[in-house]
Chains A and B, each alone.
Chain A
Amino acid sequence: MTDQEILAGLAEIVDEIAGVPADEVTPEKNFVDDLDIDSLSMVEIAVAAQDKFGVEIPDEQLKDLKTVQDVVNYVSKNS
């Protein structure tokens, strides 16, 4: 899966769970500061990402994934 495909899939998830339009989910965005996503929504996003990409994102890891690019990199590296 290319980074572009992961980004598109992640944007769909963020749209569905947090109601942030997919086209606003761009690599440099910070989940908390830019997209107004809280810690519980991040857990839901991680669970949905696991279903979609087959990559587990544990809670310990989640706190280090601050931007959209961080998640794309993590999924890319671990898939």
Chain B
Amino acid sequence: MNGARVLAFGGYQPDKVVTNDDLAKIVDTSDEWIRSRVGIESRRVAADDETVADMAEAAGAKALAASGLSPSSIDLVIVATCSPEVPLPNAAATVAHRLGLVAPGAYDLNAACAGFCYALGAASDAVRAGSARNVLVIGSEKMTSWIDWTDRSTCIIFADGAGAAVVGPSAKGEPGGIGPVVWGSAGDQAHKITVTSRTGAIRQDGQAVFRWATTALHPVALEACARAGVTPADISAFIPHQANLRIIEAIARRLGIPRDRVADDIVHAGNTSSASIPLALSRMAEQGRLQPGTPALLLGFGAGLSYAAQVITVP
């Protein structure tokens, strides 16, 4: 079987910045409270008429340009999203068309905040199996469309944005650059993060989710490392879903990964669900915090409950 690797990343954030002080004007909270509980200082919010597909297109265009590939060489587009404006059409086909891709396979995937890692796993498998030469993988979310702005336990957390990666074959003779995905779910806890109607808002049992995230996920990350043949000490960058800085720090501590190797994009991006990992990756790449050729650990987790992790080689 062929190997697969990540060729490039791209990220997109809406222009509008919402600070903690802005939120303190509309709901009973404070900058200090939000920083200490979730670690967020500001987040981005999409314009009213800006869609999941618009943001996916912007991030996808950047990743595609960075990969240097021609549009005709992309055979599959996967958009991980849990916040599309409409049930039909999906975002992926629209994004593919707008990017000038030539009638690729296109589907949306909902594994909530774990979506990007699921999509990356599916993309890697498609390339390795010969179902696609190259795949454009995007996480795009307009989480603020599911927000009750009077619920101070959720409106301070969620935000909007998109991130993308291009997956293609490994160079001849090179080992694969995307390790086996270790994925799973805990449907017995499905009720802990929900949106229960099309006009509803996201609700979560924050304390229960915090307990789950800080106790159940580091074994998943360790297994992803083992499956890729590396140890946490080898990991040059750890990019967990940007859910809450305290969850991120707790998992990193259990894995023994030092803080300077851990993504903290949540501080200025908020929780963008499936977009958070590729968005953090593209920002770390821009900041020169990623070392090409070294192993990076990705860990997505969220509603479902669902989770997935894999080790990739930094392009």
A residues near B (Cβ < 8 Å) are: 38-40, 43-44, 46-47, 59, 62
B214 near A47 (CB under 8 angstroms)? yes
Q: Say yes or no: is B199 at the interface (Cβ < 8 Å to chain A).
A: no
Separation of A46 and B207 alpha carbons in the complex (Å): 12
Interface of B is mostly: helix
Contacts of B37 in A (CB 8 A): 38, 40
**Which residues in A have their C-beta under 8 angstroms from that of B246?**
40
| A46 CA / B214 CA spacing, docked (Å) | 12
Q: Which residue of B lies closest to A39 (CB)?
A: B207
Contacts of A39 in B (CB 8 A): 207
Q: Are B250 and A59 in contact (CB under 8 A)?
A: no
Q: Is B211 an interface residue (CB 8 A)?
A: yes
Q: B residues within 8 Å of A by Cβ?
A: 36-37, 206-208, 210-211, 214-215, 246, 250
Residues of the A chain whose Cβ atoms lie less than 8 Å from the Cβ of B210:
40, 43
CB pairs A–B below 8 angstroms (21 shown):
A38-B36, A38-B37, A39-B207, A40-B37, A40-B207, A40-B210, A40-B246, A43-B207, A43-B210, A43-B211, A43-B214, A44-B214, A44-B250, A46-B211, A47-B211, A47-B214, A47-B215, A59-B207, A59-B208, A59-B211, A62-B207
Residues of A near B208 (CB, < 8 A) are 59
When chains A and B are docked, how far (Å) is the Cα of A21 from the Cα of B132?
58
Bound together, the chains give a CA A35 to CA B5 distance in angstroms of 49
A38 CA to B207 CA, complexed, in Å = 11
Contacts of B36 in A (CB 8 A): 38
Question: CB-CB < 8 A to B250: which residues of A?
Answer: 44
Given the complex of chains A and B, what is the CA–CA distance between A46 and B246 in angstroms? 16
Residues in chain B near residue A46, CB distance under 8 A? 211
Kindly state the separation between the CA atoms of A62 and B210 in the bound complex, as whole angstroms: 14
- New A-B pairs, 20, CB < 8 Å, besides A44-B250, A59-B207: A38-B36, A38-B37, A39-B207, A40-B37, A40-B206, A40-B207, A40-B210, A40-B246, A43-B207, A43-B210, A43-B211, A43-B214, A44-B214, A46-B211, A47-B211, A47-B214, A47-B215, A59-B208, A59-B211, A62-B207
Task: Note all chain B residues with C-beta closer than 8 A to A43.
Answer: 207, 210-211, 214
Residues of B within 8 A of A44 (CB): 214, 250
A74 to chain B, nearest CB (A): 17
Neighbouring B residues of A47 by C-beta, 8 Å: 211, 214-215
In Å, the complex CA distance between A74 and B110 comes to 41
In the A-B complex, list the 4 residue pairs whose CB atoms are closest, starting with the nearest: A43-B211, A59-B207, A43-B210, A40-B210
Report the minimal beta-carbon distance from A3 to chain B, rounded to whole angstroms.
Answer: 26
Q: How far is the CB of B249 from chain A (nearest CB, A)?
A: 10
Residue of A nearest to B215 (CB): A47
| Complex: A44 Cα to B36 Cα, angstroms | 15
Q: Across the two chains, which residue of chain A brings its CB closest to B247? A: A40
Q: Distance in Å from the Cβ of A43 to the closest Cβ of chain B?
A: 5
Chain B nearest Cβ from A9, distance in angstroms:
19
CA distance A44 to B211 in the complex (A): 7
